[in-house]
Amino acid sequence: MNNVALLSVNLGPRSYQIAIGTGLLQLIGEYIQKVAPHSIHTVIVCDSSVHGLGQQLSDRLGSSGNRCDLHVVASGESSKSIQALERLWGQLLSCRADRGSLILAVGGGVVGDLAGFAAATFARGLMLVQVPTTLLSQVDSSVGGKTGVNLPGAKNIVGAFWQPSLVLIDTETLTTLPAREYRSGLAEVVKYGVILLPELFGYLEINAVQILNREPTALKHLIFESCRAKAMVVEQDERETTGLRAILNYGHTFAHAIEATAGYGKWLHGEAVSIGMHMAANLAAETGHCDPQFVHRQRRLLESLGLPIAADSLDAKAMWEAMQHDKKVQHGKLKFIVPTKLGHVEAVAGFSWPQVNQAILAATI
Ligand SMILES: NC(=O)c1ccc[n+]([C@@H]2O[C@H](COP(=O)([O-])OP(=O)(O)OC[C@H]3O[C@@H](n4cnc5c(N)ncnc54)[C@H](O)[C@@H]3O)[C@@H](O)[C@H]2O)c1
Ligand SMILES: [Zn+2]
């Protein structure tokens, strides 16, 4: 198909391609045929917000002779649960899914994580194709192989690394995405600019209007660059063992603490990440790790993309305590990813409560 950008994620026997373009889902049958020539059964796991798309894909695959089952998952984080997983396992059983079946995850990160975990576990592993339909899932969660569900009070605590066989990103799916969800995904794109890709950061600065208008060329570019950054990190640290993957956590130690203390649901994840990046940049500047100019530059970009850089009524002490319980704390050492210059970050331990408090206050209204 014309105008499709292809990117490889090189993970030895678990390597796969990411295809990015406009309208590429019209050729879903051909794409699946290429990665799974012997599969004749597809189970589409689809978010209720994109039920129509799931049905279209089912019709398309069905007309090319593929046996197709459609499982719809209620929209929202509460579907990343053991109960929803059990329902999905039950559906896989009743539609006689076996090792030759393929799971097609159609939706945002919730469906990608849930369906991915079902693929990792049912019959000890089914092929998985990700069709992400939110910006966040297109630039982040569909790539890298992390799958899983939440337990009450513990996000993403049960899961598996299970790489997809293909990621199909059709930018047309974003036309129906609510503006707030769309902007939230942009925070992760800014993150890639800060941690690895100064050119992407510059592109976002210059093209903010086109990006907010969701112009296809701009979308394709920023999704491609984001996936390229994520793939680079994942290729070098597939299972988060060398420490490199931790750089993806820029802004996230603060963000998770905001999400945990402000009550889940008040902020979308990307909004919390945006505020968290502002805090992390402030922490870096205040402790001499980066130039204060960087804080202003990042702030200007986040604001031009309609993202928040501060929150009201944050409880800094409660955030500090939540940080001590973060999954990413290793052997009692809380590390923050801090920028040293645009395109480069470092993991630094040993910040004191007054320093962290000051960084939080810098992003509190
Ligand atoms: N696996 C990973 O590496 C990874 C990385 C980052 C985040 N995550 C997970 O991803 C989840 C968040 O993902 P998300 O932001 O995509 O959330 P989401 O899946 O909840 O989608 C956000 C909202 O958009 C709706 N939606 C989806 N596609 C749509 C479309 N095309 N048009 C209209 N509405 C649409 C959904 O119904 C939902 O209401 C979290 O559970 C997070 O833990 C996983
Ligand atoms: Zn994130």
pLDDT (tens, 9 = 90+) of the chain, 365 residues, equals 558 999 999 999 999 999 999 999 999 999 999 999 999 999 999 999 999 999 999 999 999 889 999 999 999 999 999 999 999 999 999 999 999 999 999 999 999 999 999 999 999 999 999 999 999 999 999 999 999 999 998 889 999 999 999 999 999 999 999 999 999 999 999 999 999 999 999 999 999 999 999 999 999 999 999 999 999 999 999 999 998 999 999 999 999 999 999 976 799 999 999 999 999 999 999 999 999 999 999 999 999 999 999 999 899 999 999 999 876 666 778 999 999 999 999 999 999 999 999 999 999 98
Closest CA to 135 of 158, 108, 166: 108
Coil/strand/helix, residue 17: strand
User: What is the residue with the minimal CA distance to atom 13 of ligand 1?
Assistant: 109
On whether the CB atoms of residues 247 and 347 are closer than 8 A, the answer is yes
Residue that is written with structure tokens 């899932």 in the block = 137
Sequence-separated (6 or more) residues with CB below 8 Å from residue 173: 25, 50, 53, 131, 132, 133
The Cα–Cα gap between 58 and 34 comes to 17
Neighbour tally for 350: CB within 10 Å? 10
What b-and-e string marks burial along 255-285, b requiring 16 or more CB atoms within 10 Å of the CB?
bbbbbbbbeeeebbbbbbbbbbbbbbbbbbb
pTM of the predicted model as reported, rounded to 2 decimal places:
0.97
Neighbour tally for 344: CB within 10 Å? 13
Catalytic residue list contains 297? no
User: What single-letter amino acid sits at 51?
Assistant: H
Output the six-digit token pair for 22: 């406009």
End-to-end CA gap in the chain: 49
Q: 38 CA distance to ligand 1 centroid (A)? A: 30
Coil/strand/helix, residue 207: coil
Q: 154 CA distance to ligand 1 centroid (A)? A: 18
H helix or E strand, kind and range, residue 6: strand 5-9
In ligand 1, which atom is closest to the CA atom of 268? 15
Q: Candidates 25, 51, 85, 134: which one to mutate for ligand 1, based on the most atoms within 8 Å of Cβ? A: 134
